[in-house]
Amino acid sequence: MSLRGDTPQGRTVMPTAIIRPMKMIWLQRLVYAVAFLLPLAPLSSARAALTIEIIGSGATQFPVAVVPFRAEGGLAQPITPVIASDLARSGLFRMVDSGGLNPLPHEPQDLNYSIWRARSADAVVIGSVSPLSDGRYDVRFRLMDVAKQVQLAGFSYTASAAQLRLTAHRIADVVYETLTGAKGVFSTRVAYIVKKGKRYELQVADADGYGAQTVRWSDEPILSPSWSPDGTRLAYVSLERKKPVVYVQSLTTGKYQAVANYWGSNSAPAWSPDGKILAVVLSKDGGSQIFFINSEGKGEPRRMTFSAAIDTEPNFSPDGALMLFTSDRGGSPQIYGMPVTGGEARRLTFEGSYNVTPRFSPDGKSFTFIQRNGGRFNVAVQDLTTRQVQVLTDGVIDESPSFAPNGRMILYATEARGRGVLSAVSSDGRVKQRLTEEAGDVREPAWGPYPK
């Protein structure tokens, strides 16, 4: 655990674990954040009590209490219910009851640690909301260690009313990262397709399903949304021209353009990590083969695979050196890997007769994919080194797996009562959650990157 360095008492240095979220906040100019200039107790002593490796054998839920913030009751969007819901949804936290206290603690000196020990909370989130003269709000929180009676993290944010929900996700991210050591993904977004009657909508929503916005809609199917690495663009396939055509759309301007519209079918877009190249599947030369194109649709496609079989579903490794894809060149659809510079493809999956839709984990050490077992299609993960396969889900038709940017969860599509719904499973298979209501027919989810 190198995420939390020792912090000498009295220095106004933030724990390193919190620096990255701070940067994101600064760069996005969404909220203005400053660290509390408060004495920080040496964290090395706190580490033993709080650094819990959640993922892995013997995983436990971290008991944490989130106390309603001072003055949040008057907000259209109270903060703490969002924080608590984020943390609970991850499956890594057990929410400790914070009711029955009068007055509620909002500052460290208000905390009666014996109460929280009695309630078996290991950490408590406290804070406050204050309206500013310009109509915005000052939101501040502290994460307190009950055993050591020290502050683990503390920030203040300046947020407009519309940013309160995002601020809550940022706070949940800090709590998550401080307590688990992995970056939080609560302030990331997901893209997916909703089918409403005959209408197909490409939507983008917060990772908790709120704030859904329709990016594009059509009376013809839309599929295979794929996030640009910087989260500003989506590539996808639309059949609106009576054939599959690959589009790229800016999420900031809403403008879209066809980037692959060649003779035949154009599909399965995947971004290179630098965002400059899109791997796509084109049938212009006959068959379905993988090509690289400029992500702005300029220049000629460069053919990458040369088989008489189906080669599809390309996916780049995070370092951009390798490409995974699905091919039936061996007689059944299996997952292959090859260098992006070209060269020989190596078969990676051997269990079963149907392994498709490979997607790298963010650390590049494993990939998730769909494996058919009997009549079922399920989400699995394979370690690239050991080739060990773990099947994570047990639905009838599970599809389109994609890793959260921290690698801890996998978002996928499944079916419930005849309708498509989105679900997520932790990458160790322990935690499962359903992300959406069964209001529409939802499919083709793609978990977006960290905001930049």
Partner 1 sequence: MNRLLTATVIVFLLALAGCATTPSEQAGAAVEDRGKPGGPPAAPKPADVGAKPLVEKPVGAAALKDPGNILSRRSVYFDFDSNLVKDEFRPLVTAHARYLQQNPGTRMRIEGNADERGSREYNIALGQRRSEAVKQMMQLLGARPDQIESVSFGEEKPRTTGHDEASWAENRRADIVYQGE
Please tell me whether residue 361 binds partner 1 under the rule CB under 8 A. Answer: no
Residue 190, classified by CB atoms within 10 Å of its CB into exposed (0-12), middle (13-18) or buried (19+), is buried
Stretch that binds partner 1, among 40-48, 90-98, 140-148, 236-244 (CB under 8 A): 236-244
Least distance in angstroms from the C-beta of 203 to partner 1: 17
Please tell me whether residue 370 binds partner 1 under the rule CB under 8 A. Answer: yes
Least distance in angstroms from the C-beta of 341 to partner 1: 24
Please tell me whether residue 234 binds partner 1 under the rule CB under 8 A. Answer: no
Please tell me whether residue 333 binds partner 1 under the rule CB under 8 A. Answer: yes
Stretch that binds partner 1, among 1-9, 74-82, 221-229, 425-433 (CB under 8 A): 221-229
Please tell me whether residue 357 binds partner 1 under the rule CB under 8 A. Answer: yes
Chain-centre distance of CA 202, in angstroms? 17
Where do we find the tokens 């819901």? 85
Q: Which of 69, 377, 403, 450 binds partner 1 (CB under 8 A)?
A: 377
Least distance in angstroms from the C-beta of 322 to partner 1: 19
- Residue 90 or 315: the one with the smaller Cβ distance to partner 1 is 315
Going by their DSSP bridges, the two strands 189-196 and 199-206 should be labelled as: antiparallel
Please tell me whether residue 315 binds partner 1 under the rule CB under 8 A. Answer: no
Please tell me whether residue 356 binds partner 1 under the rule CB under 8 A. Answer: yes
Where do we find the tokens 């309160």? 164
- Residue 138 or 220: the one with the smaller Cβ distance to partner 1 is 220
Please tell me whether residue 352 binds partner 1 under the rule CB under 8 A. Answer: no
Closest alpha carbon to 81 in 22, 24, 125 = 125
d(CA 375, CA 354): 11
Please tell me whether residue 221 binds partner 1 under the rule CB under 8 A. Answer: yes
Least distance in angstroms from the C-beta of 409 to partner 1: 21
Number of residues in contact with partner 1 under rule CB under 8 A? 33
- Residue 105 or 333: the one with the smaller Cβ distance to partner 1 is 333
Please tell me whether residue 226 binds partner 1 under the rule CB under 8 A. Answer: no
Binding mask 280-309 for partner 1 (x = CB under 8 A): -x-x--xxx---------------------
Site for partner 1, residues 413 to 452, rule: CB under 8 A: 444
Would you tell me which residues interact with partner 1 (CB under 8 A)? 221, 223-224, 237, 239, 242-244, 263-265, 267-268, 281, 283, 286-288, 310, 312-313, 326, 333, 354, 356-357, 370, 372, 377, 397, 399-400, 444
